[in-house]
Amino acid sequence: MADELTPFLTALPKADLHCHLLGTVRADTFAELARREQLDLPEAPETIFASINSRPPDPELYRSTRIPMPQGRSADEPETSYSLFQVSEWVREVLRDADDLTRITYEAFQAAHAAGTWHLEVSFDMVPEHLAHLGYARWVEAHAEGIRLAERDFGMTGRLLAAIDRSGTGEEALEWVRTVTAHPHEYVAGIGLDNLETAGPPERFADAYRLAGQAGLGRTAHTSEHVPAARNAVTCLDVLGCDRLDHGYFVLEDDAVVARMREEQVAFTVASTTSRRSWRPWRRASILAMLEAGLNVFPCSDDPGMFPTTVLAEYGILAEAGVPVQRLTEMARASFVASWLPEPQKAEVLNRFDALVDSLR
């Protein structure tokens, strides 16, 4: 980012609302845990992290998008690539007890704090088989303890989102949400729909989302990220009842949908940086087009430990692309408005935000 903007953007309070917990794990933490567990890996853990580069889906899907999609490899792609999903699975394998879960949660908040984040919402997955002995309640409490420690040490706030894997069935998702709602926790504020959008349409998960809404949980979903159409974003609003949307770049394919999103000021969490390195220029162009169209977008870190990036870096990318400071400030404020903090706490944070921004000006 431009040097003169660095102090301002660092001090600018930010809420990061789209962040996958496994994707926050640092290379050095993964290396330590992988060696502890003697995980059989094809290369050194540090080399694997430096070589994360997910291959895009079938390029034929993206031949005629409004913002041209790069079709070839990018200059920064490593010779040997590891997909984000494969590395995430390896990270999952080396997590062995509640202390590991608390550690990675705390470290996620520690890194976010260094980037000027005041509020962080992280997604956690279903309990894997090798940690089934913890049960859901202890699984969530281990993550929550990491947040409590971060709140104590950094003065931050945080919440958890229960992630639904869209490569599974609607019945599996419903059972997962039943588990979540049967064990309410003060830090579990909502649900999200993750994984490749090409795995299937979001309406398969309508029952799970309906149950979450009845329980008072917030709802979001990855949408219009991999399928080059706007229809899934509309489904997420009208069928799943989402409060905000993750990504959403392909809403630009439909002018009527763009107009609706602008009129309703639907909140989108966006990230210029992705594990699909060849897509990064397209992502940045899409976000700028969404801003130009008047959509309510604000940066997130997504998988900051693995890309790698930070929410500060994501604001910096937009600043370098010419987004004015006033607009960046409005985006930061909008991120708090869209958060799933309780309303009294949200109002307090927004008052603090306004006072600090006035002093920075």
> What confidence tens digit (pLDDT) does each residue in 184-199 have?
999 999 999 999 999 9
What is the share, in percent, of the chain residues with pLDDT greater than 90?
Answer: 93
Give the list of residues 6+ apart from residue 3 with CB closer than 8 angstroms, or none: none
What is the mean predicted confidence (pLDDT) over 271-281?
Answer: 96
What is the pTM (predicted TM-score) of this model? 0.96
Q: Is residue 114 part of a domain?
A: yes
Q: Is residue 81 part of a domain?
A: no
Asked if the model's pLDDT at residue 1 lies above 60, the reply is no
Q: Is residue 89 part of a domain?
A: no
Q: Is residue 45 part of a domain?
A: no
Contact 306, 28 (CB under 8 A): no
**Alpha carbon distance 214, 195 (integer Å):** 24
User: 100-125 pLDDT, tens per residue?
Assistant: 999 999 999 999 999 999 999 999 99
Domain range for 249 is: 3-22+97-360
User: 31-84 pLDDT, tens per residue?
Assistant: 999 999 999 999 999 999 999 999 887 888 899 999 999 888 888 899 899 999
Q: Is residue 127 part of a domain?
A: yes
Which residues face 188 on adjacent strands? 160
pLDDT at 233: 98
Asked if the model's pLDDT at residue 144 lies above 60, the reply is yes
pLDDT at 361: 75
Residue from 195, 187, 177, 186 nearest 22 by CA = 195
Count of domains observed in the chain: 1
Q: Is residue 157 part of a domain?
A: yes
Task: Check which CATH number belongs to the domain holding 267 and give it.
Answer: 3.20.20.140
Q: Is residue 92 part of a domain?
A: no
Question: How, if at all, do strands 188-194 and 218-219 pair?
Answer: parallel
Give 89's pLDDT tier (boundaries 50, 70, 90).
very high
Asked if the model's pLDDT at residue 235 lies above 80, the reply is yes
